[in-house]
Chain A
């Protein structure tokens, strides 16, 4: 009924459609796996169940809370309502200091301890990541 050319074109289109669907599926799937959510200390405290996934925690580094020994950096992140202890063994960025904003990436050990795998760098003293702004509200 149809010519050979039409048939070929139909197969071609079907192939393209299939691969596009496959690619969209692939992208969405790995997006779901690799997205990192941001939470404030208060949000973590109100969690019912602990998430095993990697998250980001943001807020202020509490004054007088940084403690360093030969293989770890310990400090407390606060959003002036709730706080959380952070244990980190890695390099801290330039502007990491007490009383400054910070974003840490890692895993929750429990509701009070956060094992950070990365502390995110910032490049401007006055600059505050939107996440941190949100976490500490209007303060």
Chain B
């Protein structure tokens, strides 16, 4: 009850502080003091405190199962374990927007603290742009999705949280992903501020690179967590479905990765200024688009909590305002400095980074078209279509070949003008990769030529980065680790998709199912009762060619509130392969529908994504460039 009131009024106070902050900073803008007014820092801090208080009071309402709060009533239940009561706070529309707001205010405060060496006007303008976004979100939360709506009379029990969201990976997936999404807002605001102040320079690049890295690391980890969850919870045994909601998180990741690369060009050579600004704007816009598409109910998925057209329209208008504002500022204020520098010599690090960016833009346009086209067609002709994985695979996989090849060579080039060094060792590595690939692939696939070329380039990158790691130990180790991680990612995904096997069958208790490589035995069924669900556990024994027996215990859970049946896959993970078994019960039949998969190198996909982010982390903590 009380927590509810506190939460609501803190939110309104937070909004007032936004207005106050704008006033004070506009006043301070033309002040001749070198440093910004201390009040601005305190105000920003207070705003953060109020949003934290608001967020905490929502958490408290969730912990206490205070059903007089509409959000709690809709998304919680007394029998839910404490951990999921807390994670339920951001497992719904209202709460997750409050989390957005929290991260927005947190980041601008951190920005103000961390940018003391930057010019004053630039800092104030960044704050102002960020406050525009913050005010937009405050209004959005207060007007269309207030998390503190009061319910009277107070219901005695809540509606519960969608069971498939009751999961440890999914409990931390939204906060991590949001840190990435919202981190891009700081990049957006600061690049606009830098444009107006004509400050898109080496010094700016050095300072904003940290923010790019932070957002990139969190976005990478957030996407990975969502993907891990989809793998073991959705029961398809895959980790990426090219589902629109996955695509909308991949799009800002692609532009952010492009930005991460070309900001280095700006930092070292003061070139590509416009491109950096455009990428900064695009990244945040795509993050917002993601929020819009997911929240408005246009895309249907677990992320669609409620279909309320008012919300969609609000975000859409807000999005358009931001786009027009940012493009307006860009065209009005941006001046391209020292044009000559943009003429790069064809064989140089700059060119190779540009090539990276071209590929990123290509991947982006494929994903964008595949995601938006069905929506577009639905609007203009009300024809319902879907674009499946083959579309993306066909358009992206072949382009990985040149991409990986350039990725192996690019980092070895020098700035300005370069030659390829150690040609012989490169050629040796390349030939080794091709031969190695040929012998591995020979018996595995029908499309020998294509896969040999593709896997060879992946191995080429793998070995060149590996060699780099051991030979030149301290030369840009963060980049080498990240690129090594990427080659590992491509290799494990490729081998995973080529070597995976699957068996789908319907089976009764006590039955055996034999297939060419072994036998599946359905031993018994057991029932168990937990606080908020009843579970049916099946015991399967799987015998492979070597007569080794593996026991797998998939579950079917029947949740009490809301009444939903979910299947929990059982997965045995080893370094070499995952064994995955999921079962479904079709009402009123003695047959159980099972799906058994052997998925090689599954765990390496996660490890390589971790390596990617570790690379980013190392770069973040690396000392300044040695000149």
Contacts and interface: CB of A to CB of B under 8 A. Distances in A.
Interface residues of A, number: 38
Given A37-B385, A69-B506, A71-B506, A27 B395 contact: yes
B302 to A, nearest CB: 5
Which of B506, B564, B582 is the most central at the interface, judged by chain A CB atoms within 10 Å of its CB?
A: B506
Contact of B235 (A35, A37, A91, A134): A91
A35 B386 contact: yes
A73 interface: yes
A14 interface: no
A21 interface: no
Contacts of A69: 506, 591
B386 A97 contact: no
Interface string B229-268: 0000011100000000000000000000000000000000
A95 interface: yes
A93 interface: yes
B507 interface: yes
A30 B391 contact: yes
A13 interface: no
Nearest to A9: B343
A130 B506 contact: no
Interface string B384-422: 111110110011000000000000000000000000000
Contact of A124 (B162, B366, B373, B567): B162
A134 B381 CA distance: 14
Contacts of A92: 584, 586, 593
Interface string A95-134: 1111000000000000000000000010111010111001
A36 interface: yes
Nearest to A26: B395
A73 B505 CA distance: 10
A36 B386 contact: yes
Contacts of A131: 384
Contact residues on B (Cβ < 8 Å of other chain), bracket = 35 or more
Interface in B489-545: 504-507
B365 interface: yes
Nearest to A130: B300
A90 interface: yes
B506 A70 contact: yes
B384 A37 contact: yes
B562 A93 contact: no
Interface of B is mostly: mixed
A106 B65 CA distance: 45
Given A23-B362, A90-B504, A97-B586, A30 B564 contact: no
B587 interface: yes
A88 B553 CA distance: 25
B582 A91 contact: yes
B321 interface: no
A98 B594 CA distance: 19
A125 B182 CA distance: 32
A66 interface: yes
Nearest to B301: A123
B502 to A, nearest CB: 9
Contact of B591 (A68, A89, A98, A134): A68
B391 A37 contact: no
Nearest to A28: B369
Contacts of B564: 94-95, 124-125
Contacts of B562: 125
Contact of A94 (B301, B394, B563, B566): B566
A31 B391 contact: yes
B386 A93 contact: no
B234 A37 contact: no
Contacts of A36: 385-388
A14 B595 CA distance: 52
B443 interface: no
Nearest to B382: A134
B117 interface: no
B383 interface: yes
B506 A68 contact: yes
Contact of B505 (A38, A66, A70): A70
A119 B51 CA distance: 44
B593 A66 contact: no
B521 to A, nearest CB: 15
B481 to A, nearest CB: 32
Given A23-B362, A94-B235, A97-B586, 9 more contacts: A26-B395, A34-B387, A36-B385, A70-B506, A91-B593, A124-B564, A129-B300, A130-B300, A131-B384
16 contacts: A27-B395, A30-B391, A34-B387, A35-B385, A35-B391, A36-B388, A38-B384, A66-B589, A90-B504, A91-B593, A92-B593, A94-B564, A96-B586, A98-B587, A123-B162, A124-B564
3 tightest A-B CB contacts, nearest first: A38-B384, A34-B391, A91-B595
